[in-house]
Structures are given as C-alpha cells and as structure tokens.
Amino acid sequence: MDRPRRIGWLLVAVQFSLLAALTAPWSSWWHLRGAIVVAGWMLRAGGAVLAAVGAVHLGGALTAQPVPKPGAGVVAHGIYRHTRHPIYTGLLLYGAGSALVTGHPVVLAAAVGLLALLMAKARWEESMLIRSTPNYREYAQRTGRFIPGVGLLRN
C-alpha cells in the first residue's frame, strides 16, 4: 500500500474514533436544558442528513479514503454546487450538536478534534485533487470548502 493510502486510512481511523466519542452515551454536564439541547439535537440531525446527501451526490466517486479515486473527476452537482465538502460539514454540525446536547468535556474535546482533523484532511485531499483532476482548482476557486462562499481557493 502506498504512503498516501496509509495516511488516508490513519486519518479515517482517527475520524471514526472521534465520531465514536461524539456518539457515546455520555451523561449531560449541562445544568441548562430546553432550547440548548433541542438546538443540539437539531444540529445532530441536520448534520447527519447533510452528510448522507453529500454521500449520495458523490455516487461512484465516494470512497472512505481521502485519496481521490482515479478518473472520478469533479463532482459539482447537487450539494457540491455549494460546498466542496458537505460530508465533512455534516460531520462538523453533528459534532457541534453533540457538544450542545451533553456539554461533556470528552465530547467537547472530540468536537474540536474533529474540526482540526477535517480541516487538515480537506486540505490534504484537495492538494491531491488539484494535482490529479484538471478542473478542480477552478471549482475550488468558486465553491466554499465547508460553507458556501467561505474558504474559496486562492491562486
């Protein structure tokens, strides 16, 4: 197995470990209830839906690895017209929602860790896409990384 794939599997393993920490049944540390917890559950649900929609729109280009599939090309339809990494955005929303639902220090740390990991993973993945996919740079210059219009690739 080549070095990028080994790194990719390591990143995937860390990502799933952080997601497991976000999903574990931690007891709530919040003394606050009501709107904060409801908002957290809404973020979790919305994030899960966004990640699923992103996976469906990737179709045959979907892979667990951040290493691009050879010949997959740029997916720029559906949700990918608005953001380059909707699956990652969905996972980040899920993590933020989990932090709001529990307020548990482990969950808060996992949410921050997931943010750092996905930011690095997206940059690494994009560097490979720029080298392997002729029109990815143009796509990245007009499409936000995680949020529409935010994180556009600069020349």
Q: Write the CA distances from 148 to 4, 25, 65, 81, integer angstroms.
A: 28, 32, 24, 9
Q: What is the 3-state secondary structure (H, E, C) of 59-106?
A: HHHCCCCCCCCCCCCCCCCHHHHCECCHHHHHHHHHHHHHHHHHCCHH
DSSP-derived letter for residue 146 is S
27-69 pLDDT per residue, tens: 776 666 788 889 999 999 999 999 999 999 999 889 888 998 8
CB 52 within 8 A of CB 90: yes
For the chain, the structural domain boundaries read 1-24+33-60+86-155
Per-residue pLDDT of 107-148, as tens digits, reads: 999 999 999 999 999 999 999 999 999 899 999 999 999 999
Angstrom distance (rounded) from CA 127 to CA 151: 14
- Mean pLDDT score of the chain: 92
Helix axis angle, 86-102 to 35-58, nearest 10°? 160
Using DSSP, state whether 55 is helix, strand or coil. Answer: helix
User: Which backbone phi and psi does 147 adopt, to 5 degrees?
Assistant: -125, 135
For residue 69, the model assigns a pLDDT of 87
As separate numbers, helices (DSSP H) first and strands (DSSP E) second, the chain gives 5, 0
Q: Whole-prediction pTM value?
A: 0.92
Contact 114, 93 (CB under 8 A): no
Q: Which of 56, 54, 61 is nearest to 81 (CA)?
A: 54
Q: How far is Cα 152 from Cα 116, in angstroms, rounded to an integer?
A: 18
pLDDT tens column, 69-91: 888 889 999 999 999 999 999 99
> Which tens digit of pLDDT belongs to each residue from 7-21?
999 999 999 999 999
